[in-house]
Structure 1
Amino acid sequence: MTAVLGAAAAPRSGGTRQLAGTGALLRLALRRDRVMTPIWIVVVAGLVLAMPGSLESVYATAAERADAMESMNANSSMRAMYGPVYGDSLGALTAWRIGCFAGVLAAVMSLVIVVRHTREEEETGRQEMLSASMVGRRAPLTAALLAAFVANAGAGLLIAVGLAGRGAAGALALGLGVAGTGMVFAGVAAVAAQLTESTRLAKGLTAAVLGAAYVLRAAGDSGDAGDTGDAGGTAGSSAATWLSPLGWQQNLRAFTGERWWVLALVGAVIVAQGLAAYELAGRRDVGMSFLPTRPGPARGRLATAGALALRLQRGSVAGWTAGFLLAGLVFGQMASGAADIVGDNENTRDIFERMGGQSGLTDAFLATLAGLFGMVAGLYVVASVLRLHGEETSQRAEPVLAGAVGRLRWAAGHLVIAFGGTVLLMVVCGLGMAVGHGEDMGAVLGACLAQLPAIWVLGGLAVLLVGAYPKAAVASWAVVGTCLAIGWIGPALDLPQAVMDLSPFGHLPKLPGTAMSWPPLLTLTLLAAVLTAGGLAGLRRRDMIT
């Protein structure tokens, strides 16, 4: 920090005074994110680069790819999930299958980076110390946006280089589309950081905009796909699709007659958002916002540590619950047409059977969905457990523990939300899938609930790291990401069973359709309990982070 203050202390003149110290702040931001940013880049680009090989193992011939394109475009649920398919080449199928989700990941990466180096710095008081030196009013915002640009440019460059063999123009379009989507939401986060007074609200507002963008794109693509082969017109895109930045990315049509002019729209929005954020940043004091936090009641209404934990995490629980319910309904409808989606493609059938068992295509499809939802719920439980670590490192836990509240009681409040929340997520997901599918409510709900022991193992590992090895707590994300990659890509690549067994989800029974096997469920539940107990024991003995 001293080095930053020293580097920023040189006098500036003219218009550059507003940006004084930007270079030093950018170097500080990149240094602080030297682990997080490369991981994000590798994850975003790696998922894209792994997709062509996975698709090639499923659709080995041009005829199979053409049939897949026709069947996907005929299924409204598939279009809502991934968008329409504009071409039958492996590059075009890759852009269709993973392009939107890569854009979502880039958006999440960008909002984390921008909010971390703007609103979070102000909320913790570090920005006030920096601003006491020769640091321009708009330097922190500029450094944050540049850090987000470096991350998105890195991911886009890896995608473009990695897919160049499939077609240089298409690879460049896909890379620029993913990076551009990330920068659009970096701009959203920059504006949100000026409007709100807390890190949590800034992230929540940006995430809400991202969710709305996905819903708009899905609603626009779920209608009549039109003539998706027309690369020059606007066929296959509705007005709702064009209202979403995620829709702009897919309308670049990478590997299918690229529309380079769409990048001008993306660039114009990024510039407009940047100007708005700069204007807002120049009109407020450090630590203040345009949407001040509403004052609480004169008398506190939270009598227990558990009530405080619920108050802190209720927005997250509500958002995840709504998302799981909606996704369950959509995917449940897709299950009824599983046979039409697979058609006569034996490779696709084999993948579903490896993921969901060999008890029939529809049951295998439902089992696959239950497993994928379970792995996504692993992200929730890790995020919720790490809220303990966040409360500790931000020193908000100290005032709570200074009263008549022990460490275990304080931690228990958050862990009930974390582990109990997964039960809620899988229940609403199962109900949504059953309603969407139209039958077998008990079987589908049971398949979703059977994922809980594996989810709890991931949560227990996060508790162990937070309690016993707090400096390594962030490694929980690497573990859950690895499990997600194994479960998602492993069956398509036909990975050895020894690799699949590295994930706790690889030991679960493939429900519905197969007989219930209790030993693995009980073993995983016991393992989760041991990990959680070890983490709580470590938390009780060690010093709190200051």
Structure 2
Amino acid sequence: MTGARHLVRLILRRDRVLLPIWVLLIAVLPASYAATYAELYPTAAQRAEYAVATAGNPSVMALLGPVYGDSIGALAAQRSGLLHLIVGLISLLVVIRHTRTEEEAGRRELLGATVLGRYAGLTAALLVTYAADLLLGLLVAGGLVAGGLPAAGSLVFGLSVALAGAFFATVGALAAQLTESAGGARGLGVAALGVAFLVRLAGDAGGTEWLSWLSPLGWAQRTHPYAGERWWPLALLAGLAALVGAVAFRLSARRDLGAGVLPQRLGPAAAGPALTGPWGLAWRLNRVALLGWTVGAAALGAVLGGAAQAAGDAVDGNETVARLMERLGGSDSIAEAYLGTTLSITALAAAGYGIQAALRMRTEETGQRAEPVLTTGVGRSRWLLGYLAFALVGPAVMLAVTGAVTGLAYGLSSSDVAGKVPRLTGAALAHVPAVWVLVGGAVLLFGLLPRISVGAAWTVLAGCLLLGQLGAALELSQWLLDLSPFTHTPQVLGGPVSATPLLALTGTAAALATAGLFTFRRRDLPA
């Protein structure tokens, strides 16, 4: 562990801006939900009616998890169900950034030449992430207590969020030992998180309790805050995190520096025709990620599309919930309003793939693989445009497939496949320009501020999730909601569609990407 204390200080210095931002942004959400529910449902009878409607709605159960009571605290805890997923994603990305990314860039080897213990790097990354998760959990609990909610329920919910983040931080640590690249580690970590979410989603949507217990996210959401608190699922999360962490430390001691546990498959001795230019190289590097993201999003669309009709039937006659769903989804049909919200979440996933594809350029640059390519006849513009093409086309393909699968599942349940498939496909594709804005922003960060491009791009995506997708339920100020490009996406399922916002978003994305290309052509590559 020699040197771990100094590495902790280094990580805190490097993340002195991004770390407080995401902790504070997430910490205020549960208390905001509680205040919103207190305003929307001031009487016990109204809350009980809403809780019954929610418990009978498979779509809400799938997205947010079960509700265990009709108090303000219980409703706010259920509405905050996605926080476990969000905190888990951020935590595993932070750990991978400070372990495998450092190793891939050669900085870990440089530090290892000093008086630095073998476990110091992994220990420091986990300690900082654990501390941030714990601080977040305490802030969540403190905000709920300050809002007048019981301390026990607030504490158990805050700790469930913290331990969910800590567990997936440990998953990120394990993924960093398995592969040689940071991109591969992120892919494994996100895949594990996605499987956990889909298992929990399927169990809660279908009312299959045992299936939900197969997911660590299901454990975190079964602490029953404000409804007879359960503390032992938190012990399960902590125990599993300790077990996964022990495996990660064991593997870090046995493998070679710069290598991964999983063997790398050797490529062919000679390059095929597709690898004679930057476009073929970009396709080779991005095809597996595109397939994985598309399959995952399509599976989510199939599950949620099949539950859309039941979602409309579950809130039939509940005017309060109907108005809330219509405000979120922009449609007079409750089922289609629900589908509008789910497609918005899918669009954020598509933006995640687009950002990952765009930032692959940064991985190639820091791995010193970009410079040999650029010393050939390949210019910087052609090299960047090869990656940019997949960062732009990939999300469009992903959303088109997801919309078609969602429409097919919804059409089968409502006996209108011919009408629902093109309608839902168009609704999904309407989010493409907003996704392109985030991709263009990532390209600009890569060209202008490459050192912080990865963390800043993912922080912007997290901000869009918190502001654009959850802001309507929180009734935030419009100027704040307008910071997210997804706020300007027209609701195709809600009526006539204007081309003006789509053209404005596309123009903004083009301007950002062009600025990124210009700045990249003028800056130096790292030596």
Q: TM-score, normalised by structure 1?
A: 0.87
Is contact 2:423-2:493 (8 Å) kept?
yes
List per-residue Cα deviations over 1:73-104 (Å, max 9, x = no partner): 223343333222111112112222223x2122
Kept in 2, the 8 Å contact 1:48–1:159? The answer is yes
Asked if the contact 1:356–1:367 (Cα under 8 Å) also holds between the matched residues in 2, the reply is: yes
Q: 1:471 to 1:357 in 2, by over 3 A?
A: same
Identify if the C-alpha distance between structure 1 residues 528 and 196 changes in structure 2 by more than 3 Å, giving closer, same or farther: closer
Identity of aligned residues (%): 45
Number of paired residues?
515
- Amino acid paired to 1:33: D
Query: Structure 1 452/45 Cα, relative in aligned 2: closer, same or farther at 3 Å?
Result: same
CA-to-aligned-CA distance 1:429-458 (integer Å, 9 cap, x gap): 211221121132222211222222222223
Q: Distance in 1 between matches of 2:359 and 2:31?
A: 30
Distance 1:522 1:25, change over 3 A: closer
Q: 2:442 aligns with which of 448, 458, 462?
A: 462
Match of 2:427 in 1: 447
Match of 1:256 among 208, 216, 227: 227
Distance 2:98 2:373 in 1: 27
Shift of residue 545, structure 1, vs aligned partner? 4.0
Residue type of the partner of 1:251? R
Correspondence 1:68-217 to 2 at 5 A: 68-99=50-81, 101-164=82-145, 165-217=148-200
Does residue 431 in structure 1 map to residue 404 in structure 2?
yes
Deviation per CA, 1:295-331: give whole Å up to 9, x if none: 2222233222112212222232122212221222222
SS in 2 for 1:166: coil
**Matched letter for residue 528 of structure 1:** A
Could you tell me which runs of 5 or more consecutive residues in structure 1 were left unpaired when the two chains were aligned: 1-18, 226-236
Contact 1:84 1:221 in 2 (8 A): yes
Please give the alpha-carbon distance, in whole angstroms, between the structure 1 residues aligned to 2:380 and 2:60. 47
Query: 2:62 and 2:481 mapped to 1: Cα distance?
Result: 30
Letter of the structure 1 residue corresponding to residue 385 of structure 2: A
1:473-484 alignment runs, 5 A limit: 473=453, 474-484=455-465
SS at match of 1:37: helix
Question: Quick one: which of 254, 267, 275 aligns to 2:238?
Answer: 267
Offset from partner CA, 1:161-194 (integer Å, 9 cap, x none): 1112311111111111111112222222223333
Separation in 1 of the partners of 2:172 and 2:449?
31
**1:281 has 2:252 as partner:** yes
Q: 1:464 to 1:412 in 2, by over 3 A?
A: same
Q: 2: CA distance between counterparts of 1:371 and 1:105?
A: 15
| Cα offset, 1:375, TM superposition | 4.1
Change (3 A) 1:313 1:338: same
Q: 1:509 to 1:135 in 2, by over 3 A?
A: closer
Partners of 2:350 and 2:406 in 1: CA distance: 15
Report how far residue 471 of structure 1 moved: 5.2
For 2:508, the equivalent position in structure 1 comes to 527
**C-alpha separation in 2, matches of 1:427 and 1:179:** 35
Q: Secondary structure at the match of 2:254?
A: coil
Q: 1:92 to 1:479 in 2, by over 3 A?
A: same
Matches of 1:277 and 1:39 in 2, distance apart?
A: 28
Q: Distance in 2 between matches of 1:468 and 1:118?
A: 24
Q: CA RMSD in A?
A: 2.5
* CA shift in 2, pair 1:114/1:522, >3 Å: closer
Relative to structure 1, the CA distance from residue 424 to residue 249 in structure 2 (aligned partners, 3 Å threshold; closer, same or farther) is same
Q: Superposition pairs for residues 25-424 of structure 1, below 5 Å?
A: 25-99=7-81, 101-164=82-145, 165-224=148-207, 237-238=209-210, 240-301=211-272, 302-357=275-330, 359-424=332-397
1:41 touches 1:155 (CA, 8 Å); kept in 2? yes
Cα distance in 1, alignment partners of residues 271 and 206 from structure 2: 50
* 8 A Cα contact 2:353 2:395, kept in partner: yes
Give the conservation status (yes or no) of the 8 Å contact 2:95–2:169. yes
Aligned mates of 2:295, 2:252 — CA distance in 1 = 33
- 1:117-160 CA distances to partner (integer Å, 9 max, x unpaired)? 33233322222232223222222222222122112112111111
Structure 1 residues 274 and 483 mapped into 2: Cα distance closer, same or farther (>3 Å)? closer
For 1:84 and 1:124, the matched residues in 2 are separated by 43
CA distance in 2 between counterparts of 1:381 and 1:504 reads 15
**Distance of 1:119 and 1:178 partners within structure 2:** 25
Distance 1:299 1:483 in 2: 44
Gaps of 5+ in 2: none
For residues 268 and 475 of structure 1, what CA distance do their matches in structure 2 show?
32
